[in-house]
Amino acid sequence: MGTGGGRNPVRVGNLLTAAVPALAERMLEQAIRREWAQTAGPEAARRSRPRALRQGTLDVSVDNSPWLQELTLRSAAIVAALRKRHGSAVIGVRFALGRGDTDVAAGSSRAATEAPERRLTVEEARIVDAVAGQMPDPALASSLKRLVTKDFLARGERRAPAAPERQ
């Protein structure tokens, strides 16, 4: 099957980006997401996820502080690897804390292999509310509520301690 008129075949992606230039950056984002494990390394890829490419800077979400530090220190090498794979379209990378598996467009392979996110039990939620209810300042109570909730979730399946006594 020929293409008619002696023309060479053209990739669909090239046709789309020529017709809609804004797609070029989106397609590059997808390519970076697909190749993230090869670019950043398998261990770093388990702890991070590319979010968006904006004006040549790749925003990457990292799931904890130690890996944020590690990847920040390795950012020059990561930018070099991205430039080697994708040319001059990527000029920098910015790492920030955040869950790496919440972006559906990034692919569901990570979410499919992990256990479902744990939620507070009824007893734990009651304890959180009781602890936060002791604070007269609403902003401080809200912060305390988030902190205690994160503590319960970080502990996993350990039993919740008894509710604190009101004074």
User: How distant, in Å, are the alpha carbons of 16, 92, 105 from that of 30?
Assistant: 15, 17, 8
**100 C-beta neighbours (distance < 10 Å), count:** 23
Strands 57-62 and 92-97 come out as parallel
C-alpha span between 123 and 37 (Å, rounded): 40
pTM: 0.52
pLDDT by residue, tens only, the chain of 167 residues: 455 556 788 887 777 777 777 777 788 889 999 999 999 999 999 999 999 988 889 999 999 999 999 999 999 999 999 999 988 889 999 999 986 444 433 344 444 444 456 788 888 889 988 988 888 888 888 888 888 888 888 776 544 455 555 55
